[in-house]
Amino acid sequence: MRVERGGDPGGPTRRLAVASLGLLLVATACASGTGSSSGGGGAVPAQPLAPFTGTLAPVALPAGIQSLHAVACPSAARCWAVGSTLWTARAPSTATVVTSSTGGATWTVQRTAAAVGYLTAIDCPTVRVCSAVGQVGAAGPGAILSTRDAGGTWTLEAVPAGTTDVTAVACPTATACTALADVSGLVTTLTAGTAGGPWVVGGALPATVASATGLSCTDARDCWATVSSPVDVGHAAGSIAATADGGATWGLEAVPAGTGALEGIDCVVPPADGSTTTSSAGGPRADCTAVGTTATATAATRTGQGLVLTTSSGGATWSTASVTAASAALLAVSCGAGPCVAVGTTPTPAARAGVVVLAASTGPTGWRRAAVASVALPLTGVSCLTLASCVVVGESISAHLTAG
């Protein structure tokens, strides 16, 4: 079951239809920048994102891009983002990959396999190696595209029989990649074989798990995933699954009451301090942040609030962080720069404008609104490497932050 980012948890896949290419933007700015756009979404002024250096401001994407779902930046200069092209009377919407070698200031389209319908997740452990996942068509099979030459060629790799969709991917190194996919009705681990070789089936997540929306791995063995499980007709609850053996076995971790759909997660290994704390799955200590919403309804307008869960024990215990910003749902998070940045949507009945939320630099509590992009559609992906390098993408806009 696919949960389309920006849609309602558990609801049917939704494709964004837009009438103007000007709605889709990427942003860049220096500390004194005041970028704006005259696209179909109206002006989008530069926005501060302290303590990050600079402001968020728009940059136009290549023509024909309809939406972006995820972004990965292995360096401050090089980024990739995945999404879909604009549907036209002559050609249906297909998957697209765009890349920047200028830290987000300019973007180009890279050629990919024509058969892929859409891509919803990507990870790039180096500036030459990336894996992106999605689906060939509305009914499958699942798709995994990989490159080992910085996108000069993207190869559609073989997936196991019965794979109908691939929803999440994490590549902690150039030789270790893990994906989560719907395989014969179960959310199942896929691991990369030899370069260019077929992906191999690993362990299945608990049978109660209906979908996986996010995945983060600190190494080839230790991974955490945001997942969803049905509660009753019309409702689903979010949880976090963890593995300490490369996906051979998974266990569900206890999350606070009131956790609705979870959409994204990022885990980092803190500097060595002599701690011997381990995760509930037996893995090493890791600091993880997961984001989502308090809403559990699967077929109604989302009325929940943005939710942040944190752990400093690799998932042995999870706690809810305070979010002072008004948000209906948080859809992605990046903690590579130290302070975490989460992105998502504003509450209804207000316009579902993209919202950027920044964690307090003193710790995982007191999350607050740092910037809002004045467009009516969600922000769905974020990658922040340093306080001078942060890129955000969305269904209608993307944002980039760099030193001026």
| C-alpha to C-alpha distance for 249 and 269, rounded to whole angstroms | 21
Place of tokens 């404008």: 353
- Identify the pLDDT of residue 39: 33
How far is C-alpha 338 from the chain's CA centre? 18
Neighbours of 251 (CB within 10 A): 16
Residue whose C-alpha is closest to residue 212's, from 172, 203, 221: 203
- Using DSSP's 3-state secondary structure scheme, residue 17 falls into coil
Q: Looking at residue 305, what is its pLDDT?
A: 87
pTM for the model stands at 0.86
pLDDT at 209: 96
Domains recognised in the chain with CATH numbers: 62-204 (2.130.10.10), 219-272+283-404 (2.120.10.10)
The count of other CB atoms within 10 Å of the CB of residue 153 is: 12
| Cα(95)–Cα(72) distance, integer angstroms | 16
Q: Report which of 399, 279, 382, 401 is spatially closest to residue 70, judged by C-alpha positions.
A: 382
- Please tell me the distance from the alpha carbon of residue 38 to that of residue 95, in angstroms, as a whole number: 26
pLDDT value for 20: 26
User: For residue 193, what is the DSSP state?
Assistant: -
Per-residue pLDDT of the chain (404 residues; tens, 9 = 90+): 333 343 333 332 322 222 223 233 333 333 233 333 333 334 455 666 777 777 776 777 888 888 889 999 999 899 999 998 888 778 888 999 999 998 888 899 999 988 899 999 999 999 999 999 999 987 779 999 999 999 999 999 999 999 999 999 999 999 999 999 999 999 999 999 776 678 999 999 999 999 999 999 999 999 999 999 988 887 889 999 999 999 999 999 999 988 999 999 999 998 765 444 444 444 557 999 999 999 887 765 557 888 999 999 999 999 998 887 778 889 999 998 888 989 888 776 555 566 778 776 655 556 877 766 655 567 889 999 888 888 888 875 555 443 32
- Three-class SS state of 313: coil
Q: Cβ atoms within 10 A of the Cβ of 259, count?
A: 21
Cβ contacts of 148-152, under 8 Å, gap ≥ 24: 148/195, 148/196, 150/78, 150/99, 151/80, 151/97, 151/99, 151/110
Taking alpha carbons only, the member of 350, 343, 347, 327 closest to residue 47 is 343
Distance of alpha carbon 75 from the chain centroid: 17
Residue listed under structure tokens 């130290």: 338
* Omega before 62 within 30 of 0, i.e. cis: no
